[in-house]
Amino acid sequence: MVTIGVLALQGDVGEHVRALEESGARALAVRRPGELEAVDGLVIPGGESTTMSKLLLAFGLFDPLKARIDAGLPVWGTCAGMIMLASHILDGRPDQKSLGAIDMVVRRNAFGRQVDSYEEDLEVKGLADPFHAVFIRAPWVESVGEGVEVLARAGDDPAGPIVAVRSGRALATSFHPEIGGDRRMHGLFVSLVRGS
């Protein structure tokens, strides 16, 4: 069985732990560099990316995590986690750092700064039926580099904003797949970590 960490500095940790366990993985909350060494893959949850960036540095996790990602650790960022995986952030704070796991430009709070969320049944490449996606002050992907595959666009529009991407063994989604009972996105990541 694969062990998948959930970065547990802040954000939707418990929901991801549960969803991963229901998808056939062992899940581990990761707060220290030592815990990071024990995982085969890592989920970076939603929350607040500027806070997460600060806490990664304060907990001494930023450099070890970046090193493991650069060495090929499978990662999946959801919402704030997507921002953390970007190579470039738009509308971020000047001191905000990201891990550069995926060659993409991500715009923070792209759907507007309002507190409310929106929901949409999204066509996601690799899933047979639409996925009910919940967006909460979500980012979107403004552009992707070569080798980054677009998995979903919002607004039921082939030219709509990019909200899910994959680059090798790194995955990023603007929405919160841990909300609601649909485990297909977690299943996709577990398969990716297993290498199947």
* Residues in touch with ligand GLN (CB under 6 A): 46-49, 79-80, 83, 108-109, 136-137
> Which residue's CB is nearer to ligand GLN, number 27 or number 83?
83
Which residue in the list 15, 16, 120, 178 is annotated as catalytic? 178
Known active-site residue 178: yes
> Which residue's CB is nearer to ligand GLN, number 49 or number 167?
49
Shortest distance, CB of residue 145 to ligand GLN, whole angstroms? 22
> Which residue's CB is nearer to ligand GLN, number 19 or number 83?
83
Q: How far is CA 16 from CA 26, 110, 135, 179, in A?
A: 11, 23, 16, 9
Shortest distance, CB of residue 106 to ligand GLN, whole angstroms? 10
Separation of alpha carbons 26 and 24, rounded Å: 7
Separation of alpha carbons 4 and 7, rounded Å: 10
37 is in an annotated binding site: no
The pair of structure tokens assigned to 155 is 């607004």
Known active-site residue 35: no
Separation of alpha carbons 155 and 122, rounded Å: 8
Which residue in the list 16, 120, 176, 186 is annotated as catalytic? 176
Which of 131, 55, 53 lies closest to 96 in space, CA to CA? Answer: 53
